[in-house]
Amino acid sequence: MKIESRLAQIGSIQEPKTGAVSFPVYNATAFRHPKLGESTGFDYTRTKNPTRSVLEDAAAQLESGDAGFACSSGMAALHVVLSLFSQGDHLIVSLDLYGGTYRLLEKIMTRFGVTASYVDTNDIDAMSELCTPNTKAILIETPTNPLMMITDIERVSAWAKSKGLLTIVDNTLLTPFFQRPIELGADIVVHSATKYLGGHNDVLAGLIVSKGKELSEQIGFLHNSIGAVLGAQDSWLLMRGMKTLALRMERHQYNATRIAEYLLEHESIEEVFYPALPSHPGYEVQSRQSSGNTGIFSFKVKDARYIEPILRHIKLIAFAESLGGVESLMTYPAVQTHADIPLEIRQKVGVDDKLLRFSVGIEHVDDLIADLDQALAAAKREIEEA
Ligand SMILES: Cc1ncc(COP(=O)(O)O)c(C=O)c1O
């Protein structure tokens, strides 16, 4: 069955008792045992909940993995995955990545003796140099947040396998509708399901999908032991969002491409970072490994003085953090989503004071371009008059 059909049908044929097409929300935290030594398969909700299980099975299937785990946020999902590692272990991580992931690695995992080196994850020589006997995994975002750098998943996971490393891919920006890293050789996929999977800026959630029995058992143990699991109500809300993922991703992609092309030609814009543009350095790899493009991109204005008035003048587009929802949001990574990354690293990567990140929603593209156009014109006027 095609992915569009599988998405639309999440949970709809799993309730044989009533035939409900929307799977019920099981709020129970405890489940009766038929007798000593027997279980219905559900004992305690942290370990397994019927509503969450439907979501987890759907996630595993959509990402071509063996097991899925729903967590209370994307960060909780990353924390569970990083808990696979122990004192002395070392990870190789994308140079450009979500600031919260960097914070988790640098401010929390280091306290447990787990360290990370940040590198361009297409540079196999640089990664080989960083690899020590203690290196256990490579963690990549592709595209990265916010600079949209692309990593060749197949090439990197083949290299990781040859070194005995796990490949972990944060697939938040593309979702399994456009990209399935496990099919390309990855071992674990992580999502901030708060973003495109939920899709409506109204549910905080994370997902993990793993390949292989032993690895899935280890993650299952950590998921239950750490306990940052997704509640039944939010599991249902996430599934409701996922049913329309295909339609939304196509519209996000269409709108983002049109707007990126518009900005590329705009006199006040210095650079547009969007892998759907043939000028993007990752265009060829992205076109090969994904069937489409995300709805988020970043762009640099020519003069940092534009930033404040642009954010003040946008009306339809909200000045807000987060991404992947039906409503368009614009954020300033240097002081918001990526503020926890030290200045010298941000500057090295390019997350500087001229960069804006735009999560393009599903509104009519003409309205979004009109909003941007008036905000850019107002910003230009103010700067010229100052
Ligand atoms: C790529 C990526 N991974 C993980 C996260 C963390 O997810 P959450 O905010 O759901 O905890 C985010 C949040 O913005 C993200 O953009």
Tell me, yes or no, whether 227 and 266 share the same domain. no
Tell me, yes or no, whether 212 and 351 share the same domain. no
Q: Domain of 270: which CATH number?
A: 3.90.1150.10
Using omega within 30 degrees of 0 as the cis cutoff, is the peptide bond preceding 143 cis? yes
pLDDT in tens, 162-193: 999 999 999 999 999 999 999 999 999 999 99
Give residue 343's pLDDT. Answer: 85
Query: Which residues line ligand 1 at a C-beta cut-off of 6 Å?
Result: 73-75, 98, 100-101, 141, 145, 170, 172, 192, 194, 204, 206
The model's pTM: 0.97
Residues of the chain short of pLDDT 50, as ranges, are none
Mutate to test the pocket of ligand 1, among 80, 94, 144, 195 (most ligand atoms within 8 A of CB): 195
Number of domains in the chain: 2
Gap from CA of 263 to ligand 1 centroid (Å): 26
Gap from CA of 338 to ligand 1 centroid (Å): 11
- Nearest CA residue ID for atom 12, ligand 1: 192
Gap from CA of 96 to ligand 1 centroid (Å): 14
pLDDT in tens, 117-166: 999 999 999 999 999 999 999 999 999 989 999 999 999 999 999 999 99
Percent of the chain at pLDDT > 70 equals 100
Q: Shortest CA distance to 228 belongs to which of 82, 370, 32?
A: 82
Give residue 13's pLDDT. Answer: 85
Question: Where is the domain boundary, 223, 242, 261?
Answer: 242
pLDDT in tens, 246-265: 999 999 999 999 999 999 99
- Nearest CA residue ID for atom 14, ligand 1: 322
Mutate to test the pocket of ligand 1, among 75, 139, 321, 341 (most ligand atoms within 8 A of CB): 75
In ligand 1, the atom with minimum distance to the C-alpha of 76 is 11
Domain boundaries, position 43: 3-242
Tell me, yes or no, whether 219 and 249 share the same domain. no
Question: Where is the domain boundary, 201, 225, 242?
Answer: 242
Question: Where is the domain boundary, 242, 262, 284?
Answer: 242
